[in-house]
Amino acid sequence: MLVRLIAQVRKEMLVVLRDPRSRAVLVGPPLVQLFVFAFAATLEVENVAVAVLDRDEGRWSHEVVERVRATRMAREVITVDSPAALVDALDGRDVLLGVAFQPDFSRRIEAGKVAPMQVVLDGRRGNSAQIALGYIGTIVADVNADIARARGGAAAEPVDVIPRHLFNPNLEYLWFTVPALVGILSMFSALIITALSIARERELGTFEQLLVSPASAGEIILGKCLPALIFGTLLASVMIGAGIFVYGIPFSGSVALLYGALVLFILSVVGVGLMISSVSRTQQQAILGAFAVGVPLVLLSGFATPVDNMPRALQLAAQADPLQHFLVIVQGIFLKALPAEAVWTHLWPIAVIAVVTLGGALAFVGRRLY
Amino acid sequence: MSRGDRRTGFSLPRLAAIVRKESLQVVRDPSNILIAFVLPVVLLFLFAFAVSLDVRGVAVGVAVEGDGAEARELAAAFGATRYFDTRFARHRRELEPLLVAGELRGIVVIPQDFSARAVSGRPASVLVLTDGSSPNTASFVANYARGVVTSRLEASRAESARGADDLGRVIAEPRFWYNPDLESRAFITPGAIAIVMTMIGTMLTALVVAREWERGTMEAMMATPLGIGEFLIGKLLPYFGLGLGATLLCAVAAEAWLGVPLRGSVPALLVLSAAFLMPALGLGLLISAATKNQFVASQLALFSGFLPAFLLSGFLFEIDSMPEPIQWLTRIVAARYFVAGLQTLFLTGDVRPELARSIWPMLALGAVFFALAAVNTRKRLD
């Protein structure tokens, strides 16, 4: 039986590795992606353009504008001379936000009154707009402190809020995205390899040959699982290595725990892939099926936006998403030296999912066999 | 193999025949209909609900390490905000393991001497520890905690007789145009349509020619008098129709069920979508002409179609904030223009110059992809 299994695994590996392009596509694109996308996925706001409509031209409006100019947020400050021009700049997406001062802005401040400053932001880029407004808020607080000092008023803020970011002191966004991409990219690899495996046999008509071979359903499943498991683990290892040695992300946790979780995670994905494969008649259906499942898994994983923000029902659905649990583990082991018991709270759901999906795959393929 | 002598230029009946053949192939596989009409709507809903930047109820611990009215009032202010789901403790050490386990996103530490310092007018401090492994949530927690402390201060200043107004101060009056309540669904949904259409357009077409090669039916195509142009157009027209239909369906779903207003006109939406389908289908065709293998084609479609549309289109991640070389790279991602165009069309209206700025680059990219696909197919056919 072992001989049969080895022969089958060897054959499955050859199917993928025989073609030089399919060999290249297994390793090349994920690594390129790791380098490109790791830099892209940031929710910080930098280098945007800001429009200024300054009808005051006074000391304090200049002070605010200079401070805006000095932030990392602003790449350039565009001066406009009418509200209509401000509207055009926003409509045409030339600027993310505009700041407008009334003619009496500085005079009101000197007179000890409240001076409103209008901030208009592009709601189409709502997330960036919100973050940018946060920067503006800080600038306003600083200017107010200056005003108080200039007018010989009260001392600075009596309560100091000191933020300290643990595990990632400078909030390097790459430290978040690279470990997450390890999970996402190896998931898609394993999913597509297994989804195609049985569908390819059926499309090419070689499934009949498997049926008449002495291999049992369990052996066939195992034979289809192992190549995806091997490729997925290797790919993840290369990416983990790149994260540590190329990006310099600190790796603080246990390697053994990470690999234990990785193998279970890929097995759970492999089960999903095999189920898709056993119900697909063509490779096209299998690939599209893999996407129809893979994309929701990414959306629910908390990679793009936190699971906490989702509605209740989707938060529950996220509990059944192996990627969501794996991302907590891989990010925790990388940055937080996640202790074994904390790993376990996310590992057992993955194990349950793996048992369910592999069991399902066994049942599906078994039905085709008998 | 030479077909040149048998080819008699462009022939409409031949084109009609291949379009008919492809359409039948599309229609007779029910999974195509499922992919084109059911999957987009399902994905659209998932995007609309699962991708949310509307933060609320972030789990935060508050360690009140000292006694005193001021410390208690500040702790109560943290307990009252709906953005935080607070958990109180007497010491930060009780909360730190929860931060490691990911059950808390941050810890606000109100130190022992806080009340004493506040009463005597000496500078007091509040420490905010965050979980930096989720950088966005961490900076939200830090900023929002600062906001809670500041508004608590303003409130207590207002209580004391000396108003702050006599000093003169600036207040920022924010207005979010096009999306006054800043609902993330309003700007994520148009972006999601672009991503879903990239999936459908690029993925489906990436597989069609690759399948002909893999099944050996390409040989049969070569034996016919069909020209390259006829072959490519014939392959694509049914998918073009499918894509346009799916886009309209998504737009209707967004407007009717997700409450995202469509302020622009339907003809503008059609023009924009048609322009986007050019590069989306063209890229798919290029992939399938160049690979001949469905596995390779699907991997390439994932890496050149779906992931760039998700990460480089600006639908979630601000393009201006990316490093320079990657910003340059986003210019050849068609979804980038479609996302901008759709967001404008949905939330602002028919802003012609802005829409034109979205449409031209997409048409140009489409032309490049088609030309490359034609070159690749010709090499193999000759």
The predicted structure's pLDDT at residue B146: 83
A328 with A210, same domain: the answer is yes
With a CB cutoff of 8 Å and minimum separation 6, the contacts of B328 are none
A77 with A123, same domain: the answer is yes
Does residue A240 lie within any of the structural domains? Answer: yes
B298: chain A residues, CB-CB within 8 Å: 192, 196, 287, 290
Partners of residue B9 on adjacent β-strands: none
Buried b (16+ CB within 10 A) or exposed e, B299-332: bbbbbbbbbbbbbbbbbbbbbbbbeeebbebbeb
Evaluate if residue B255 carries a pLDDT over 50: yes
With a CB cutoff of 8 Å and minimum separation 6, the contacts of B29 are A282, A284, A285
Per DSSP, helices labelled H in A18-78 are 20-40, 59-70
Partners of residue B170 on adjacent β-strands: A115
Tell which wins on pLDDT, A213 or B95.
B95
Contact check, Cβ <8 Å, B298/A121: no
Q: How far apart are CA B178 and CA A266, in angstroms?
A: 43
The pair of structure tokens assigned to B167 is 């000093």
Mutate which: A91, A124, A146, A312, vs B, most B CBs within 10 A: A124
Closest chain A residue by Cα to residue B353 = A92
Lowest mean pLDDT among A3-7, A74-78, A268-272, B245-249: A3-7
Model confidence pLDDT, tens digit, residues B3-51: 444 455 677 888 888 888 888 877 777 777 777 778 888 888 888 888 8
Domains of chain B: 10-51+183-381 (no CATH), 58-167 (3.40.1710.10)
A68 with A206, same domain: the answer is no
Q: How far does B93 lie from chain A, in Å, by closest CA?
A: 14
A16 with A114, same domain: the answer is no
Does residue A165 lie within any of the structural domains? Answer: no
A184 with A37, same domain: the answer is yes
Mean pLDDT of B299-327: 84
Closest chain A residue by Cα to residue B103 = A342
Buried b (16+ CB within 10 A) or exposed e, B232-270: bbbbbbbbbebbbebbebbbebbeeebebebebeeebbe
The predicted structure's pLDDT at residue B67: 81
Closest chain A residue by Cα to residue B350 = A91
Helices vs strands, H then E, count in chain B: 16, 5
Between residues 280 and 319 of chain B, which touch chain A (CB distance below 8 Å)? 291, 293-296, 298-300, 302-303, 306-307, 310-312, 314, 316-318
How many domains in chain A? 2
Measured CA distances, B211 to A55, A133, B293 (Å): 64, 51, 7
Model confidence pLDDT, tens digit, residues A293-340: 998 999 899 888 888 888 888 899 999 999 999 999 999 999 988 888
Residue A337's φ and ψ, nearest 5 degrees, are 50, 50
Q: What is the mean pLDDT of chain A?
A: 85
The predicted structure's pLDDT at residue B23: 82
CB contact at 8 A, B366 and B278: yes
Tell which wins on pLDDT, B155 or B138.
B138
The pair of structure tokens assigned to A318 is 């996220």
Q: How far apart are CA A301 and CA A322, in angstroms?
A: 8
The last residue of a domain, from among A87, A119, A150: A150
Contact check, Cβ <8 Å, B167/A151: yes
* B355 interfacial to chain A (CB closer than 8 Å): no
Contact check, Cβ <8 Å, B329/A36: yes
Quick check: helix, strand or coil at residue A79? strand
Q: Nearest Cβ partner of B316 from A304, A308, A337?
A: A304
Between residues 45 and 64 of chain B, which touch chain A (CB distance below 8 Å)? 46-47, 49-59
Per DSSP, helices labelled H in chain A are 2-17, 20-40, 59-70, 83-91, 105-110, 126-150, 174-204, 207-212, 217-241, 255-279, 283-300, 312-319, 322-331, 340-369
Q: How far apart are CA B185 and CA B178, in angstroms?
A: 13
- H helix or E strand, kind and range, residue B64: strand B58-64
The predicted structure's pLDDT at residue A153: 58
Does residue A156 lie within any of the structural domains? Answer: no
Q: Nearest Cβ partner of A91 from B105, B323, B351?
A: B351
Q: How far apart are CA A126 and CA B179, in angstroms?
A: 8
Phi-psi region of A248 (alpha: psi -120 to 50; beta: other; left: phi over 0): left
Q: How far does A266 lie from chain B, in Å, by closest CA?
A: 18
Quick check: helix, strand or coil at residue B204? helix
Does residue A142 lie within any of the structural domains? Answer: yes
Lowest mean pLDDT among A104-108, B303-307, B331-335: B303-307
The predicted structure's pLDDT at residue A150: 77
Closest chain B residue by Cα to residue A35 = B326
CA angle B248, B250, B256 (to 5 degrees): 100
B140 closest CA partner among A319, A54, A133: A133
CATH number of the domain where residue A66 is located? 3.40.1710.10
Percent of chain B exceeding pLDDT 70 equals: 93
Write the secondary structure of B156-178 as one string of H (helix), E (strand) and C (coil): HHHHCCCCCHHHCEEEEEEEEEC
Q: How far apart are CA A224 and CA A207, in angstroms?
A: 13
Maximum mean pLDDT: which of A152-161, B221-230, B264-273: B264-273
Measured CA distances, A304 to A300, B60, B379, B382 (Å): 9, 21, 41, 46
The predicted structure's pLDDT at residue B118: 76
Mean pLDDT of B181-201: 84
Q: How far apart are CA B38 and CA A222, in angstroms?
A: 33
Q: How far apart are CA B18 and CA B78, in angstroms?
A: 67
B293 closest CA partner among A294, A192, A266, A291: A192
Mutate which: A25, A64, A186, A346, vs B, most B CBs within 10 A: A25
The predicted structure's pLDDT at residue B382: 47
A93: chain B residues, CB-CB within 8 Å: 340, 344, 354
The predicted structure's pLDDT at residue B1: 40
Q: Tell me the whole-structure pTM to 2 decimals.
A: 0.82
A280 with A348, same domain: the answer is yes
A158: chain B residues, CB-CB within 8 Å: 118, 121-124, 153
Does residue A267 lie within any of the structural domains? Answer: yes
Mean pLDDT of B342-353: 88
The last residue of a domain, from among A150, A165, A195: A150
Q: How far does B345 lie from chain A, in Å, by closest CA?
A: 10
For chain B, the C-alpha Rg in angstroms (whole number) is 29
Q: Nearest Cβ partner of A111 from B124, B168, B316?
A: B168
Does residue A155 lie within any of the structural domains? Answer: no
Contact check, Cβ <8 Å, B132/A167: yes
Contact check, Cβ <8 Å, A296/B46: yes
A96 closest CA partner among A68, A117, A67: A68
A28 with A145, same domain: the answer is no
Does residue A76 lie within any of the structural domains? Answer: yes
Q: How far does A370 lie from chain B, in Å, by closest CA?
A: 25
Mean pLDDT of B246-252: 89
Q: Nearest Cβ partner of B133 from A140, A168, A288?
A: A168
The pair of structure tokens assigned to A168 is 């990632």
Write the secondary structure of A26-42 as one string of H (helix), E (strand) and C (coil): HHHHHHHHHHHHHHHCC
Evaluate if residue A354 carries a pLDDT over 90: yes
Q: What's the longest Cα–Cα distance across chain A?
A: 94
Q: How far does B4 lie from chain A, in Å, by closest CA?
A: 30
* B186 interfacial to chain A (CB closer than 8 Å): yes
Evaluate if residue A368 carries a pLDDT over 70: no
Please give the torsion angle defined by the CA atoms of residues A102, A104, A110 and A113, in that order, rounded to the nearest 10 degrees. Answer: -70
The pair of structure tokens assigned to A197 is 């495996």
Does residue A21 lie within any of the structural domains? Answer: yes
pLDDT band at B2 (very low <50, low <70, confident <90, very high): very low
A329 with A222, same domain: the answer is yes
Partners of residue A50 on adjacent β-strands: A77, A97
A48: chain B residues, CB-CB within 8 Å: 318, 320-321
A187 with A317, same domain: the answer is yes
The pair of structure tokens assigned to A310 is 């989702």
Model confidence pLDDT, tens digit, residues A10-34: 887 787 777 777 777 777 777 777 7
Model confidence pLDDT, tens digit, residues A47-74: 889 999 999 988 899 999 999 998 888 8
The pair of structure tokens assigned to B339 is 């996302």
Mean pLDDT of B301-330: 84
Between residues 95 and 114 of chain B, which touch chain A (CB distance below 8 Å)? 99-102, 105
B173: chain A residues, CB-CB within 8 Å: 116-119
A212 with A282, same domain: the answer is yes
CB contact at 8 A, A146 and A63: yes
Lowest mean pLDDT among A104-108, A119-123, B196-200, B365-369: B196-200
Size of interface A-B (CB pairs under 8 A): 361
A6 with A142, same domain: the answer is no
Q: Nearest Cβ partner of A144 from B169, B177, B318?
A: B169
A193 closest CA partner among A238, A219, A232, A222: A232
Contact check, Cβ <8 Å, B118/A159: yes
A115: chain B residues, CB-CB within 8 Å: 168-171
The predicted structure's pLDDT at residue B166: 57
Evaluate if residue B272 carries a pLDDT over 90: yes
Q: How far apart are CA B90 and CA A104, in angstroms?
A: 50
- For the four alpha carbons of A19, A21, A24 and A25, in that order, the dihedral sign comes to negative
Strands, DSSP E only, in B194-334?
none
Mutate which: B133, B202, B204, B262, vs A, most A CBs within 10 A: B133
Contact check, Cβ <8 Å, A123/B177: yes
Q: How far apart are CA A19 and CA A341, in angstroms?
A: 44
Q: How far apart are CA B64 and CA B82, in angstroms?
A: 19
Contacts 24+ apart (CB under 8 A), B309-313: B309/B194, B309/B195, B309/B198, B309/B199, B309/B333, B309/B335, B310/A304, B310/B195, B311/A37, B311/A40, B311/A41, B312/A36, B312/A37, B312/A40, B312/B336, B313/B191, B313/B194, B313/B195, B313/B338, B313/B339
Q: How far does A246 lie from chain B, in Å, by closest CA?
A: 17
A179 with A106, same domain: the answer is no
The predicted structure's pLDDT at residue B219: 72
Contact check, Cβ <8 Å, A331/B178: no
Q: Which domain holds residue A96?
A: 48-150
Give the Cβ contact number of residue A360 at 10 Å.
Answer: 15
Contact check, Cβ <8 Å, B186/A137: no
The predicted structure's pLDDT at residue B4: 43
Contact check, Cβ <8 Å, A306/B136: yes
The pair of structure tokens assigned to B68 is 């005193």
The predicted structure's pLDDT at residue B308: 86
